[in-house]
Structure 1
Amino acid sequence: MDFDFDPADESFREEVRSFIHDALPADIRERNVRNYHANRADTRRWTTILHERGWSAPSWPVAKGGTGWTPMQQFIFDEENFAAGAPLLETGGLKMIGPVIYTFGTPAQHERFNVPFLRGEISWGQGFSEPGAGSDLASLTTRAERQGDEWVINGHKMWTTNGHYANWLYLLVRTDPTQKQRGLSLILVPADAPGVTISPIIDIGEGHSLNEMFFDEVRVPAENLVGEENKGWTYAKFLLDRERAFSAEIPRNKRNFALLKQIAREARRGGRPLIEDGAFAARLAQLESDLDGLTWMTLRALARQGDSSWDLPVGSILKVRGTELQQTIGEMHVEALGDRGAYVYPEPDFATGEHHWPPGPDYAPGVLADFLYRRAVSIYGGSNEIQRTIIARQYLGL
């Protein structure tokens, strides 16, 4: 495979880079390059700007209101967004439940949610994991019972990202207690429906992105079922395969690696720049080599998307390597910053208030919070242990 982008891709990259340079608000960029906790208002503003350009759904087909871009163009777009300090698009909607709805949902569901998806007007929370069902989703116990023209939902969900922002939730629920995978269904639930309680989970980096949710006799119309009853496992696998494909996090890893090199050039060890320390420089070189390898594998996967003859469990491989690199880069960030890396800011809007940045380089605040958050990336979306089992069984035949 030729790992160089062709002239058309490079021309597209320049178009994207130029647009972002002109259109991205400076205050949004400032918060993102300093690793602030997620800011829903920033995401909505940026999605609105992209929608005006027709770029708010990079992975959607033109017929559904998307760009119709190739996988390579989507990769370039994500890479340029991250490099410029633009916020991530609303992953739960545009990249996850949105494609499920337009692939498996009813025309009425697509018509209801399509425009709000594209404009960034709706936030979505995923209700999959439970206290006793994390990586083993088939063990979940949250129930949905059909009563006339409604589904009645009772249960408890955990680790719902951005559930406190959500207008809607998509829940994997048990509709047939006699089956395991075949007894699950996917149902859409308004976050403000009577009986829904959403409680915050504050993470070790003082961020609030996670929540637990309780459902007590929650009633939703029967038409909120996505696809067929008891086919939820099929739709969940479709959704999770898309989630794991993002887990390589090449744009994030590249930006964070560039920051690591900047820190290493400016930090001192023994009176010399840290980057001149032989042991640290060797680790840096190995990390750069690993990141290049992961990038090439991602590009290869994009180039062969839809090729049924390629039987590698690519999503699992990218998930394992991408999350490991996120953690390694974060560890080296904190190590290189020393005591200046020990500061954790309290709020997403910290720098917009009357507070002042602490002494040290202006990129230091937020590094520790991001490092702490990245401890979880090898767990959520299907733990790396589970992914290694998938690789061993599906490809190695173990």
Structure 2
Amino acid sequence: MDLAFTPEELAFREEIRTWVRANLPPDIAHKVHNAQRLTRDDMQRWAKILGKKGWLGYGWPKQFGGPGWNAVQKHLFEEECALAGAPRIVPFGPVMVAPVIMAFGNREQQERFLPGIASGEVWWSQGYSEPGAGSDLASLKTRAERVGDHYIVNGQKTWTTLGQYGDWIFCLVRTSTEGKPQTGISFLLIDMKSPGVTVRPIKLLDGEHEVNEVWFDNVKVPVENLIGEENKGWTYAKHLLSHERTNIADVNRAKRELERLKRIAKAEGVYDDLRFRDQIALLEVDIVALEMLVLRVLSAEKSGKQSLDIAGLLKIRGSEIQQRYTELMMLAAGPFSLPFIFEAMDAGWQGDFPGGVVANAPLAANYFNMRKTTIYGGSNEVQRNIVAQTVLG
């Protein structure tokens, strides 16, 4: 296993770095570096810039319009985007549903849905969790009954991230109650403008409208929107969740936020506190360890070897690290972490540290928001069981 990058890979990194710096809007980068609120326009603007370059689907093979990069190149792209202050690519379209459509959809579905995802024009949402069906996803109850050439969908999804912006939503729905719960689930693509679809906001502790409830009341969905075979959706869902859990690890964002933590600690005068700096050092060691784990997986993929099925392990460590750096940021700023006034932040008034770093960014709000990371995408308790079974044996 060689974790050193080749000269060709280093040249690729420089190419990506140069392009991102030239094309990432400075106002968006400023918001990301200082944890200010990103609007739909901010996220969509960057997605369309990447789409025009052909890099929004950066993980896609060439046959579907992607760049055909290998695992190491994809990692370097993600790292350079994160360090430059680019918003995270909203994953539901290009990272999550697109691979499912490529692997299990038919040619008509691929030609119909993939171009809009690749360009950034179509915003996708995820319809998995339900009240009472989160980590135990197989107990979902949203029902799709076939009537002629349509399915009639009734039920509810919850915690739908950014669902208020969604054009389409991919859903797990129950099409059979026979046999094991997993065997009666299908994977359905639903136009969110369809009659009977209602999106209701869920307001979080920080006042943000990030997640939603989505209700389906006799929603008609054409049969041609079914991916793969009926009652085989659990197989497709597992394929998608491996992408989600690896994406949640997000080691590159952790590296960027580590530098932000150091800036805050220095500005607040706690960086000289040896005990606090010890905590920063411990966090940095964990981030480096997570990066080494990611690079081990990439090295195995590059050499053609079968990498360990450790998506769950990446998710566990990555989510815990995200919680830790938001906690340390809040502790560093003390009472200055509390102010969170949208109007003031949008107007540019939050006070500035020397060097132009926003001072009273929503550190406490970010701390509370990141409590979710060990729960979504499959709770860490469940992931530890999976790791014990699949990796440890």
Seen in structure 2, the aligned counterparts of structure 1 residues 329 and 141 have a Cα distance that, compared at 3 Å, is same
- Residue 52 of structure 1: how far off its partner (Å): 2.6
Q: Does the 8 Å CA contact 1:90/1:120 hold for their aligned counterparts?
A: no
Choose which of 320, 323, 326 in structure 1 pairs with 2:316. 320
Which range moved further: 227-236 or 305-314? Answer: 305-314
1:340-359 to 2 correspondence within 5 Å?
Answer: 340-346=336-342, 351-353=345-347, 356-358=349-351
Give the aligned length: 389
Seen in structure 2, the aligned counterparts of structure 1 residues 127 and 135 have a Cα distance that, compared at 3 Å, is same
Residues 156-175 of structure 1, C-alpha deviations (whole Å, 9 max, x = no match): 11111111000001110000
* Counterpart residue identity of residue 144, structure 1: A
* Counterpart residue identity of residue 280, structure 1: F
Indicate the residue corresponding to 2:332 in structure 1. 336
Indicate the residue corresponding to 1:271 in structure 2. none
Q: Does the 8 Å CA contact 1:122/1:167 hold for their aligned counterparts?
A: yes
Q: Does the 8 Å CA contact 2:297/2:308 hold for their aligned counterparts?
A: no
- Residue 342 of structure 1: how far off its partner (Å): 1.2
- Residue 340 of structure 1: how far off its partner (Å): 1.3
- Residue 311 of structure 1: how far off its partner (Å): 6.8
Residue identity (%): 42
Residues 200-258 of structure 1, C-alpha deviations (whole Å, 9 max, x = no match): 01111222110011111111111010111000000000000110011211111011111
Q: Does the 8 Å CA contact 2:338/2:362 hold for their aligned counterparts?
A: no
3-state SS of paired residue (1:126):
strand
Provide the TM-score with structure 1 as the length reference: 0.93
Indicate the residue corresponding to 1:141 in structure 2. 141
1:259-338 to 2 correspondence within 5 Å?
Answer: 259-268=260-269, 274-305=270-301, 312-338=308-334
Indicate the residue corresponding to 1:186 in structure 2. 187
Instruction: Specify every segment of 5 or more residues in structure 2 that has no aligned partner in the other structure, as ranges.
Output: none
- Residue 58 of structure 1: how far off its partner (Å): 0.6
* Counterpart residue identity of residue 254, structure 2: N
Residues 80-130 of structure 1, C-alpha deviations (whole Å, 9 max, x = no match): 111111112231000000111111111111111122111101111111111
Residues 8-57 of structure 1, C-alpha deviations (whole Å, 9 max, x = no match): 11111111111111111111112222213342211221122222322221
Which range moved further: 306-315 or 378-387? Answer: 306-315
Seen in structure 2, the aligned counterparts of structure 1 residues 263 and 385 have a Cα distance that, compared at 3 Å, is same
Seen in structure 2, the aligned counterparts of structure 1 residues 346 and 55 have a Cα distance that, compared at 3 Å, is same
Determine the C-alpha separation between the residues in 2 that align with 1:314 and 1:131: 28
Seen in structure 2, the aligned counterparts of structure 1 residues 276 and 212 have a Cα distance that, compared at 3 Å, is same
1:102 aligns with 2:97: no
Determine the C-alpha separation between the residues in 2 that align with 1:287 and 1:164: 35
Residues 113-149 of structure 1, C-alpha deviations (whole Å, 9 max, x = no match): 1221111011111111110100011101111010000
Q: Does the 8 Å CA contact 2:3/2:299 hold for their aligned counterparts?
A: no
- Residue 364 of structure 1: how far off its partner (Å): 3.3
Q: Does the 8 Å CA contact 1:313/1:390 hold for their aligned counterparts?
A: no
Q: Does the 8 Å CA contact 1:37/1:207 hold for their aligned counterparts?
A: no
Seen in structure 2, the aligned counterparts of structure 1 residues 337 and 250 have a Cα distance that, compared at 3 Å, is same
Q: Does the 8 Å CA contact 2:59/2:74 hold for their aligned counterparts?
A: yes
3-state SS of paired residue (1:144):
strand
Determine the C-alpha separation between the residues in 2 that align with 1:267 and 1:193: 51
Seen in structure 2, the aligned counterparts of structure 1 residues 308 and 316 have a Cα distance that, compared at 3 Å, is farther
Seen in structure 2, the aligned counterparts of structure 1 residues 310 and 56 have a Cα distance that, compared at 3 Å, is closer
- Residue 318 of structure 1: how far off its partner (Å): 0.5
Determine the C-alpha separation between the residues in 2 that align with 1:144 and 1:330: 41
1:117-196 to 2 correspondence within 5 Å?
Answer: 117-179=117-179, 180-196=181-197
Determine the C-alpha separation between the residues in 2 that align with 1:305 and 1:173: 33
* Counterpart residue identity of residue 72, structure 2: M
1:67 aligns with 2:63: no
Choose which of 383, 389, 393 in structure 2 pairs with 1:393. 389
Choose which of 357, 367, 372 in structure 2 pairs with 1:371. 367
Seen in structure 2, the aligned counterparts of structure 1 residues 256 and 394 have a Cα distance that, compared at 3 Å, is same
Determine the C-alpha separation between the residues in 1 that align with 2:54 and 2:171: 30
Indicate the residue corresponding to 2:252 in structure 1. 251
3-state SS of paired residue (1:188):
strand
Indicate the residue corresponding to 2:213 in structure 1. 212
- Residue 351 of structure 1: how far off its partner (Å): 4.2
Determine the C-alpha separation between the residues in 1 that align with 2:67 and 2:298: 17
Indicate the residue corresponding to 2:204 in structure 1. 203
Q: Does the 8 Å CA contact 2:72/2:302 hold for their aligned counterparts?
A: no
3-state SS of paired residue (1:247):
helix
Which range moved further: 71-80 or 35-44? Answer: 35-44
Seen in structure 2, the aligned counterparts of structure 1 residues 363 and 80 have a Cα distance that, compared at 3 Å, is farther
- Residue 367 of structure 1: how far off its partner (Å): 2.4
Indicate the residue corresponding to 1:90 in structure 2. 90
3-state SS of paired residue (2:224):
helix
- Residue 263 of structure 1: how far off its partner (Å): 1.7
